[in-house]
Amino acid sequence: MAKDHPTGKSGLYQAILKLETPEQCYRFFQDVCSYSELSAMEQRYDIAEMLVDKRIYTDIKERTGASSAIISRVNRVLSAQDSLLRQLVEESRPDTEQL
């Protein structure tokens, strides 16, 4: 998909916004993605969580089986000033300051 894809022009994004539970999300993505596509997205999110937790590449590679190129790509995305992925990962983390 091109980066200049017009936002909101695809029914796909509107459909995703209607999903209400993790189970619905899982079922939807199983329907529209191949097993490898879904696994790749899950792996990249797991990598993002580990990078936000400041884990090192070798640890991430060992835990996920991802290549250094994929880990580097996810890190580049997280490093962007307007990274929505970073925002979502950080918002999804348990609040450890209260412990």
Of the pLDDT bands very low, low, confident and very high (cuts 50, 70, 90), residue 3 is low
Q: At what angle do helices 35-52 and 68-79 cross, to 10 degrees?
A: 60
User: Tens digits of per-residue pLDDT, 43-59?
Assistant: 999 999 999 999 999 99
User: Tens digits of per-residue pLDDT, 12-43?
Assistant: 999 999 999 999 999 999 999 999 999 999 99
pLDDT of 1: 46
Taking the CA of residue 83 as centre, how many other CA atoms within 13 Å lie in the half-sphere pointing to its CB? 19
Q: Read off the pTM.
A: 0.81
pLDDT of 8: 60
- Give 93 or 15, the one with higher predicted confidence: 15
